[in-house]
Amino acid sequence: MLRKNGTAQPQGTDGYASRGSIASTARYILRNTLAAVAVLSFLVYFVSLPQAPALTVERTTAKSNESSGNNIIGGQPTRITWEAKVGNNEKVASVTLRFPAGSTIAQGANVKATVLDDMTRIETEQNPVLTGDYATIEFPKPVPSGLLLRIEVYNVALPSATGDYFIDASYVDSEGMRTDLLGAIPIKVIGITATESVISWLDQQEWVQNWNSVLFLRIFFNPQLIVAAIPGLFFGWLRSLGLVLVGFPLAIPIGLGISFLRMARGKGGAILRFISSIYVNVVRGTPLFLQMYIAFFGLPFLGINVDSYLLGILVLAMNSSAYLAEIFRAGIQSIHKGQFEASSSLGMNAIQTMFFVIIPQTVRRVIPTATSEFILLYKDTSLLAAVGVMEQMMFAKSMVANTGNMTPYIVAACYYLVVTLPLTKIIAVFEKKLAAAEGLTTAPEGKQKKKRASSLAKEDLSTGDCHE
């Protein structure tokens, strides 16, 4: 067909071939023949192409089986998902997936295929076979062309050595022809981590099994999950600490500034006192949780997009500054009036008096209450989990969601206590020192009134003892 057209064209257009030399005509024919052969061979190639791979592998993945993190750990059960599309004019009667040498199957392992026509699930009869080396699914009614085959193998463990592993596959078409497909998409596997090896050791211990047979202990103090949660929550703990370690120092100068405004005197003093008291009363009179919601969901409406971690720090700092302002004000006002009078008689101005005489004395007095404010703020970082800031609580929550067990919360509680208990102890020591240094009458008022009262009572008791 092509050749005929090629030779006919010059004759039909200007009759050049009939007048020209025979040699040139022959060359012309030869050239066209070659071209035609090339085109034909291309056609043959394309027609025969679909007969080679009837299945095109589209995905090969494994679900992360790390207790904290997103890696695939060798030697531990995971779920492998393998997706392939059935090619033109083909029907697939069975598919076999070969696992890398050294793979094993764990208890409860199974294999199933989902057949999809575009986005529609097609119910397909299937006969699965699963061993540690391979998984085969037979389709009594072969899967026709154009469909997506999605095979999931649950609870198979890949080899325990680090490396890239491939899933080789083979399929049998409706005529019984077997074709091999070499795996081309790697699954990255990391060797067993220290945590995971401790966990699998625990799995085998009899005392652990006995321990976990008690519902309460299994749900709240699961040994395996304690081991998993300690490293798993560590970064959450650091992030929570980061929030408060940046937020609190930020709150100190703001709080100090507001406390000055609260004590402002002179001409504009009334207005400054009014504004600052509104700030303090509104912030202290509303829940931090509500303030977070306003900041996190309100700002985006104004087109302001702040990084959520930074915004978290800002909200904490703003909130804490109001409490600190009151603590500082109480501290400053607790300094005896005589100190001001003495400073001014030495020729100091108000600022000098404040920074060289009053504040140095205040610092010592407010350290206990400011520290307990720090503890409160540290605990309040957990509220940020509700607005999507990744911190301790969020890490614990997602672990609980993945395991259906409360143990990660208990471990998270321990992480909070690691910070709060020593600080509480420090407060107690400071309070004791303060009381000893100043007598018992000039106690600064603050949030920890109750605690102070009890520690004062203790002092009473001990002094009483001494008198005996």
Partner 1 sequence: MKNLKNLQNYRKFLALITCMLLAMSLMLSACGDNSAKPTDSNTNSTDTVASGTTPIASAEMKLVTAGTLTVGSDCDYPPFISLDGATPAGFEYELMQAVADEMGLKLKYLEPQNFDTILASVAAGTKLDLGVSSFTITDERKELVDFCIPYCDSNQACVALKDKGFKSASDLEGKVVGAQSGTTGESWALENVPGITMKPFNQTSEGLAALMSGDIEALFFDEPVAAWQIKNTYTDAETIEKIPTGEQYGFAVAKTNPVLKDKINEALAALKQNGTFDKLYDKYFPGVTAPSLKG
* Contacts to partner 1 by CB under 8 A: 59, 61-64, 70, 79, 81, 108, 110, 114-116, 118-121, 123, 148, 150, 152, 154-155, 210-217, 297, 300, 305, 308, 386, 388, 390, 394, 397-398, 400-402, 404-405, 462, 465-466, 468
- Residue whose CB is less far from partner 1, 118 or 175: 118
Q: Alpha-carbon dihedral of residues 330, 332, 337, 338, nearest 10 degrees?
A: 140
Tell me if 151 sits within 8 A of 124, measured CB to CB: no
Q: Coil, strand, or helix at residue 463?
A: helix
- Residue whose CB is less far from partner 1, 2 or 106: 106
- Residue whose CB is less far from partner 1, 109 or 169: 109
Tell me if 405 sits within 8 A of 219, measured CB to CB: yes
- Residue whose CB is less far from partner 1, 167 or 251: 167
- Residue whose CB is less far from partner 1, 188 or 265: 188
- Residue whose CB is less far from partner 1, 103 or 353: 103
Q: How far is the CB of 285 from partner 1 (least distance, A)?
A: 27
Of the candidates 171, 145, 163, the residue with the CA atom closest to the CA atom of residue 82 = 171
Tell me if 364 sits within 8 A of 33, measured CB to CB: no
Of the candidates 241, 252, 259, the residue with the CA atom closest to the CA atom of residue 416 = 241
Q: Which two tokens stand for residue 382?
A: 């957990």
Q: Which two tokens stand for residue 17?
A: 């071939």
- Residue whose CB is less far from partner 1, 186 or 269: 186
Of the candidates 324, 327, 338, 336, the residue with the CA atom closest to the CA atom of residue 438 = 336
Tell me if 163 sits within 8 A of 189, measured CB to CB: yes
Q: How far is the CB of 355 from partner 1 (least distance, A)?
A: 40
Q: Where are the alpha helices (DSSP H) in 353-406?
A: 359-380, 392-403
Q: Where are the alpha helices (DSSP H) in 94-222?
A: 194-204, 206-212, 215-220
Q: How far is the CB of 401 from partner 1 (least distance, A)?
A: 3
Q: How far is the CB of 444 from partner 1 (least distance, A)?
A: 26
83 DSSP β-pair partners: 59, 150
Q: How far is the CB of 81 from partner 1 (least distance, A)?
A: 7
Q: How far is the CB of 79 from partner 1 (least distance, A)?
A: 7
Q: How far is the CB of 149 from partner 1 (least distance, A)?
A: 10
d(CA 305, CA 229): 33
Q: How far is the CB of 276 from partner 1 (least distance, A)?
A: 31
Q: How far is the CB of 324 from partner 1 (least distance, A)?
A: 29
Q: Which two tokens stand for residue 73?
A: 């750990």
Residue 20 identity (one-letter amino acid): G
> Residue 119 class from Cβ within 10 Å (0-12 exposed, 13-18 middle, 19+ buried)?
exposed
Of the candidates 291, 313, 299, the residue with the CA atom closest to the CA atom of residue 240 = 313
Cα R_g (the chain), whole angstroms: 38
Of the candidates 439, 438, 431, the residue with the CA atom closest to the CA atom of residue 455 = 431
